[in-house]
Amino acid sequence: MRALTRLTVIETRLMLREISPPLFTVLLPVALLVIFGAASSTRKPDPALGGHRSIDTIIPSMSVMVAMAMVAFFMLPVVLATYREKGVLRRFATTPVKPSALLGAQLIMNGGVVLVATLLTLVIGVAALDMRLPNLLLVLPTLVLGVLGLFPIGLLVAAVASSAKAATGYALGMWFPSAFFAGLYVPVEYMPSVLRRIGDFTPLGAFRQAIQAAWAGDVPQPLHLVVLAVSFLAATYLAVRLFRSA
């Protein structure tokens, strides 16, 4: 536990030295929230959303989903791939500290970035955009499930990427189709049923639907929770099997 705590502090300091990636990851979701949430139409009940308003459903879930994806698909794997490329992982393997401590520190630190982005979405939405205060007893557990379901995908990318450039390429290859089926470009409520169904079975799409339901005060659908659970188990297993220090 002491090693994990110390590594988390060290990794956080290193992240703050290169503040651009985490700052962008936090500010992009907030910018999307403000840009799309400023329209007065977002504060009107929408039949396609079951009578809920966009500012209470589609828009905050989009912001949180983007933050989660930026961390899971880009920040986490690129940092670990950079460590491999620079030989940090090889040198780390010669120390008494277990590699799991480094991975745990990365997960905690990056989870903190997602939490900050979520809190800013909540505070700015409620204070400035007439967003209703969501049920945090639903939102926070769903956020944890999203971390468990999506972060291992980043670890899997880091496990197979030989360099930061390769990790970025893999991340971009996942991001565009995942974002589409998660409803970033067109809300899933307005998609054809076939595309929406495909999105239900993608990890990012399942998280988007789950966090949107939780934000609106509804319990996430079991299907989406199962998809996140399967993503956690499969990606974790493959990441452990494929991960190497060099």
Whether residue 210 is predicted with pLDDT greater than 70 in this model: the reply is: yes
Place 246 in a pLDDT band, splitting at 50, 70 and 90. Answer: low
Report pTM: 0.93
Quick one: average pLDDT of 108-116?
94
Place 245 in a pLDDT band, splitting at 50, 70 and 90. Answer: low
Residue pLDDT, tens place only, 143-160: 999 999 999 999 999 989
- Check if the beta carbon of residue 42 is closer than 8 Å to that of residue 140: no
The number of distinct structural domains making up the chain is 1
Residue pLDDT, tens place only, 49-88: 889 999 999 999 999 999 999 999 999 999 999 988 888 8
DSSP string, 155-218: HHHHHH-SSHHHHHHHHHHHHHHHHHHTTSSS-GGGS-HHHHHHHHTSHHHHHHHHHHHHHTT-
Domain of residue 79: give its range. Answer: 2-242
